[in-house]
């Protein structure tokens, strides 16, 4: 377990998608490490309550900004608000959820919106904070992706493709920014328990794995079962067999609606 997180990456951290799931777990862990926090999410009421609780519990400063990062004006407002803060750690957690079903049965507008958020919006955030941290001479970035980025997933076509984009971009940035004193990690969890999902890894365990790996490797699939699944898909099966296995598995879930 990393014991000097605030010394290495403090005093401020920013977490997008901070009010639920993995983002909430990141916020709680970093507050316990005495980071001051900037919390970003869409639900203003929940965000304000979360900020107040973390301030009272841990004696930290906690700014909060309710915004929808799919809106250009909200995205730019976030960047402006962070300009005067000594930010050392950026957790790029917010992302568009997958739509589970046949690619050709969904409207193009839905596909386009997901791909734009998981690629263009993510790159805008990464570029801004990478430049800030490089000028600062130290810091860290955690890009929260998905195990789907390590696979080709039928019935989640654009989602898995966009997560592969995040994986490639983050790993490349990890190499580029290392010479500037900035650590970058792509964290690719599998199923994670949340308000809507009652199976998978605990979000706190995902966060602990990510913070431990930051500065030690460019990417991580947390959990031995998830790591084995991604390894098996890429190396232990032929591509055709791997796609067929994944396709059969996903086809059985079509009746369940959107995946998380």
What CA–CA distance (Å, rounded) separates 243 from 153?
A: 7
| 11 cis-preceded (ω within 30 degrees of 0) | yes
Q: Please tell me whether residue 243 adopts helix, strand or coil conformation.
A: helix
Q: Which two tokens stand for residue 102?
A: 């046949």
* Count of C-beta atoms within a 10 Å radius of residue 229: 17
Give the closest residue to 26 by CA, choosing from 156, 215, 208, 160: 208
Task: Provide the β-strand partners of residue 66.
Answer: 41
What CA–CA distance (Å, rounded) separates 14 from 40?
A: 8
Which helix (H) or strand (E) segment holds residue 87: the answer is strand 87-92
Q: Look up 159 and say whether it is catalytic.
A: yes
Q: Look up 113 and say whether it is catalytic.
A: no
Total residues belonging to the chain: 260
- Choose, from 24, 48, 159, 199, the residue flagged as catalytic: 159
- Choose, from 48, 163, 175, 199, the residue flagged as catalytic: 163
Q: How far is CA 21 from CA 6, 26, 94, 190, in A?
A: 22, 9, 10, 13
What CA–CA distance (Å, rounded) separates 84 from 12?
A: 11
Scanning the structure block, which residue is given the tokens 């915004």? 67
Sheet with strand 87-92: strands edge to edge? 62-66, 36-41, 12-16, 87-92, 139-144, 182-187, 219-220
Task: Provide the β-strand partners of residue 63.
Answer: 38
Instruction: Give the residue numbers annotated as catalytic, written as ranges.
Output: 159, 163
């Amino acid at each position: 377990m990393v014991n000097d997180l605030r010394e290495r990456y403090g005093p401020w951290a920013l977490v997008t998608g901070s009010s639920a799931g993995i983002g909430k777990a990141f916020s709680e862990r970093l507050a316990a490490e005495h980071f001051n926090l900037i919390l970003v999410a869409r639900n203003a009421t929940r965000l304000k309550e979360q900020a107040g609780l973390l301030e009272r519990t841990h004696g930290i400063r906690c700014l909060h900004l309710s915004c929808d990062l799919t809106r250009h004006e909200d995205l730019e407002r976030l960047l402006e608000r962070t300009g005067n803060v000594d930010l050392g750690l950026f957790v790029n957690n917010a992302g568009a959820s997958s739509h589970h079903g046949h690619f050709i049965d969904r409207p193009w507008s839905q596909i386009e919106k997901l791909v734009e958020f998981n690629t263009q919006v993510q790159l805008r955030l990464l570029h801004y904070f990478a430049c800030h941290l490089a000028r600062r001479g130290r810091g860290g970035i955690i890009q929260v992706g998905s195990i789907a980025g390590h696979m080709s997933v039928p019935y989640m076509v654009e989602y898995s493709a966009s997560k592969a984009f995040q994986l490639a971009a983050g790993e490349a940035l990890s190499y580029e920014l290392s010479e500037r004193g900035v650590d970058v990690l792509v964290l690719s969890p599998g199923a994670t328990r949340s308000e809507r999902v009652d199976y998978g890894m605990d979000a706190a365990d995902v966060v602990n794995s990510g913070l431990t790996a930051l500065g030690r490797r460019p990417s991580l699939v947390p959990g031995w079962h998830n790591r084995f699944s991604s390894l098996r898909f890429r190396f232990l099966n032929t591509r055709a067999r791997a796609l067929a296995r994944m396709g059969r598995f996903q086809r059985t879930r079509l009746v369940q609606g959107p995946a998380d």
